[in-house]
């Protein structure tokens, strides 16, 4: 049994700062979150909420944060469902994402864009629905959104592979492709001293209306560099209010596309649940007047 009598034992037993006689039963202590795969240890709301494209962010803009409540020793899983009721259309999105060691994110989202009665006017039929699948991935390169120097944000790069399921209609309105890939580079920081969160993303994309009207167009087919930004103010530990802006390409000749913006409230009553409400304006869609409306999202996370 001599193997167990190591210098570490001797040092520990004799080191006065490491051993106290007045902590009986400490040998039985096992911190439960240690070694847990789903450790749930991330700080509230620092995982962000799912964007309509499934990546973690603020709803409209992508952030550098990795989804899930895991830290660098665990795995987190997140699921969301979002409804956006616009003047003439209705967007429903849902999806899941997984965060691995607060380093790598993989996400899947489905978008269903219902044209309601506008579908009739567009000659597509009432309730014609554009659908899109999005597989996303994000890699945190360096930095920490919460800790570390205030000037050093969390920085991530990502890609979103978008597959439009309405290829014929997308081509008919002038789109060059029915599938496309966005590339993103994001920086996010919670300025604790001010309780302010700042998130910026540059996105290389040729998606028309997020990709719901295909990719590239008669006016421009190549990707352009677009900007996404979010400002949030943390009112309490569980409540954040803020606003987002997002520029978008304008590739299609038949209908102008503009930027989008919103104001939002995110509330996380407990670690596993976040509700997001927003008022969103995505500008004109397919010749229809500017589309504004209420956004409601539920995210369940571990």
Partner 1 sequence: MALVRISRLCAIAALALAGFAANPGFAEPPTAPGQTQADVDWFKEFGVDKPKRDPVTGELPVAPYTHTDANAGAAPFEGAGMARAFGGQDGIHQIADRLVDIAIVDPRIKGVFAASDLVRLRRTLYEQFCYILDAGCHYSGRDMAESHKQLGIMNGEMNALVEDLQRAMRERHIAFATQNRFLAKLAPMKKDVVRR
> Which residue in the set 53, 55, 71, 214 belongs to the binding site for partner 1 (CB under 8 A)?
71
- Helices marked H in 94-241: 118-121, 167-172
Q: Which residues of 214-240 are buried (b: 16+ CB within 10 A; e: fewer)?
A: bbbbeeeeebeebebbbbbebeeeeeb
Binding of partner 1 at residue 123 (CB under 8 A)?
A: no
Q: Binding segment for partner 1 among 111-119, 120-128, 220-228, 231-239 (CB under 8 A)?
A: 231-239
Count of helix runs (H) and strand runs (E) in the chain: 3, 14
> Which residue in the set 81, 116, 146, 165 belongs to the binding site for partner 1 (CB under 8 A)?
146
Binding of partner 1 at residue 9 (CB under 8 A)?
A: yes
Q: Of residues 190-209, which lie at the interface with partner 1 (CB under 8 A)?
A: 191-195
Binding of partner 1 at residue 153 (CB under 8 A)?
A: no
Q: Give DSSP secondary structure letters for 177-204.
A: BSEEEEEEEEEEEEEGGGTEEEEEEEEE
Binding of partner 1 at residue 234 (CB under 8 A)?
A: yes
Binding of partner 1 at residue 23 (CB under 8 A)?
A: yes
Q: Give DSSP secondary structure letters for 88-104.
A: S-EEEEEEEEEEETTTE
Binding of partner 1 at residue 73 (CB under 8 A)?
A: yes
| 43 or 245: CB nearest partner 1 | 43
Strands (E), 254-287: 260-270, 273-285
Binding of partner 1 at residue 25 (CB under 8 A)?
A: yes
Q: Provide the minimum distance between the beta carbon of 241 and partner 1 in the complex, in angstroms, as a whole number.
A: 13
Q: Of residues 37-66, which lie at the interface with partner 1 (CB under 8 A)?
A: 39, 41-43
> Which residue in the set 87, 126, 237, 256 belongs to the binding site for partner 1 (CB under 8 A)?
237
Residue 60 per-residue DSSP state: S
Q: Binding segment for partner 1 among 32-40, 153-161, 178-186, 273-281 (CB under 8 A)?
A: 32-40
Residues with Cβ < 8 Å from 184, sequence gap 6 or more? 55, 62, 138, 156, 157, 158, 159, 160, 201, 202, 203, 204
| 14 or 168: CB nearest partner 1 | 14
Is residue 86 within 8 A of residue 292, CB to CB? The reply is yes
| 28 or 168: CB nearest partner 1 | 28
Residues that bind partner 1 (CB under 8 A): 1, 4-6, 8-10, 12-14, 16-21, 23-34, 39, 41-43, 71-74, 102, 144, 146-150, 191-195, 234-237
């Amino acid at each position: 049994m001599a193997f167990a009598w190591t210098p570490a034992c001797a040092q520990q037993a004799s080191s006065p700062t490491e051993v106290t006689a007045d902590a009986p039963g400490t040998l039985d202590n096992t911190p439960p979150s240690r070694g847990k795969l789903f450790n749930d240890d991330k700080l509230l709301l620092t995982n962000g909420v799912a964007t309509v494209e499934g990546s973690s962010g603020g709803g409209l803009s992508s952030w550098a944060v990795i989804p899930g409540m895991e830290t660098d020793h665990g795995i987190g899983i997140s699921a969301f469902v979002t409804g956006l009721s616009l003047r003439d259309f209705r967007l429903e999105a849902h999806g899941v994402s997984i965060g691995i060691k607060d380093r790598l994110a993989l996400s899947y989202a489905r978008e269903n864009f219902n044209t309601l009665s506008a579908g009739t006017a567009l000659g597509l039929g009432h309730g014609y629905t554009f659908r899109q699948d999005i597989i996303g991935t994000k890699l945190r390169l360096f930095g920490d959104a919460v800790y570390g120097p205030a000037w050093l944000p969390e920085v991530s790069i990502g890609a979103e592979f978008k597959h439009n399921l309405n290829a014929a209609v997308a081509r008919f309105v002038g789109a060059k492709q029915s599938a496309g890939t966005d590339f993103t580079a994001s920086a996010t920081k919670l300025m604790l001293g001010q309780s302010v969160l700042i998130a910026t993303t540059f996105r290389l994309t040729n998606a028309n209306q997020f990709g719901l009207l295909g990719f590239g167009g008669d006016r421009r087919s190549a990707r352009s560099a677009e900007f996404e930004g979010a400002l949030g103010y943390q009112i309490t530990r569980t409540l954040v209010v803020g606003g987002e802006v997002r520029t978008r390409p304008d590739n299609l000749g038949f209908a102008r596309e503009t930027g989008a913006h919103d104001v939002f409230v995110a509330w996380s009553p407990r670690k596993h649940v976040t509700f997001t409400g927003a008022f969103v304006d995505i500008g004109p869609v397919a010749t229809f007047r500017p589309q504004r409306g209420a956004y409601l999202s539920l995210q369940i996370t571990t």
